[in-house]
Structure 1
Amino acid sequence: MDDLTDEQLDRYGRQILLPRMGVEGQQRLLEARLLLIGAGGLGAPAGLYLAGAGVGELTIADADEVAASNLHRQVLHAESRVGWNKAESAAAALYELNPEVRVHPRPERLHGAALDEAVAGADLVVDASDNFDTRYAVNAACLRHRRTLVSGAVIRMEGQVTVFPFADELTPACYRCLYREAPDASETERCAITGVLGPAAGLIGTVMAAETIKRLAGIPEGLAGRLLLMDALTMDFRTIKLARDPQCPACSAFQPAS
């Protein structure tokens, strides 16, 4: 490992002071490669804290464009970039925050071989998407390539976060153990219909960032094997244990990539 520069010691000094972080943990962050799926309500706050923490390389994939209706919760974007692709808008904002982070915007919805390639090239994947098809595809790709997955969701004033440590030998569950089948499209709730509280997305996105930073820095404690449930209306937080589904269509027949 190369020694941290004086500039890095200054920028990340308050983080390095943490007993479980130190210089070694910060160095791990600086060398990490991260894939962030989605730069919306969850990916926006997560991206800001990940770049601020000094993640070395951050690939952001999102096919959507910034709209004015996004701005109350997608705090990475700005009025001046309405109409931009979200991944490219995110890259511009994160460069302003921390030009040391190598941000690679991918203005597309990753699927198939492109998703497999992106997951294989990352040390950890953060799924901040907003639909079951993407979540299932990302879960499967992370299983195949043994990449730890940080997954979150938010709707109305409620949200959830968990970590699937697929890089470990003993994985307690996967996303399809939690949601075996996607609900019918007519039953799927979207924030454009049900609404979403901006700070609720911020709370979930920052928890996702915290779990990611700890994992990349070599701190294993956290939400692996547990699902954090948040209700911002009552401001209640609780966790439940996750159990592997022996009939899960994804991980019961899991075969890692060679």
Structure 2
Amino acid sequence: MGTILEINNLIISFDGFRALNGVTTKVEKGEIRFFIGPNGAGKTTLLDAICGRIRPQQGSIIFDGDKNIMHYPEHKLVNIGIGRKFQVPSVFTSLSVYENMEVSVVNDRSIMASLFQPITKAQKEKIDDILDLVDLKDYCDKKAADLSHGQKQWLEIAMLLVQDLQLILLDEPVAGMGRKETIKTGELLKSIAHHCTVIVVEHDMEFVRDYASKVTVMHEGRILDEGSVSQVQNNPKVIDVYLGRGGGNCA
């Protein structure tokens, strides 16, 4: 299907400390790529670099074949097809589920401008289809503040999907969820992968085993191993620095 993201020799330093030290990897279209590793491995720093929050000192991040992400300000990346969801849901809690979707579909940074800008029939159909996908269609009129933790996560994912993104970055999407919500989120990721590529930072190894297309293990700012779940689980170095601590479900 081709490469959607190419990261080459990425170096990021903070006050002399190298948070990323020569990271090189490729993510293919349609993948559910998981980045795992102990705290301080560089996973979130890598997401921050991909979404423009941090500027690397060296290296390149090429999106969709020819777009150098480092030439785009953070708020412009959604225009070329990249969106990110943080660990804590950032939905507009004072708005209804449907109003949250309206704000997102018109891609306007002003809530008031978005709510007073009429949406098209095609946009309405898109909202309905995505709310159906994330199982929130019956909650259209419900205030986002009244949703469960899992439902808020799914709403935020829906708000990304409605923007026709090609790449979605998710930071610990199942943190704080029970097993039922976790499984539902995993199945949602599988559905999303038919339309766009998903990158996930996660510590729940059962979730990783069940839903990863490919896994990248990071340690001390470098890539320690990369491959299928079974491949990385059987690497003695990965077992030593990550999976061996707390049975592979450490923070």
Do Structure 1 and Structure 2 share a fold, with TM-score over 0.5? no
Q: With structure 1 as the length reference, what TM-score do the two structures score? A: 0.30
Q: With structure 2 as the length reference, what TM-score do the two structures score? A: 0.31
Structure with the bigger percentage of strand:
2
Instruction: Return the structure number with greater relative CO, CA threshold 8 A, min gap 6.
Output: 2
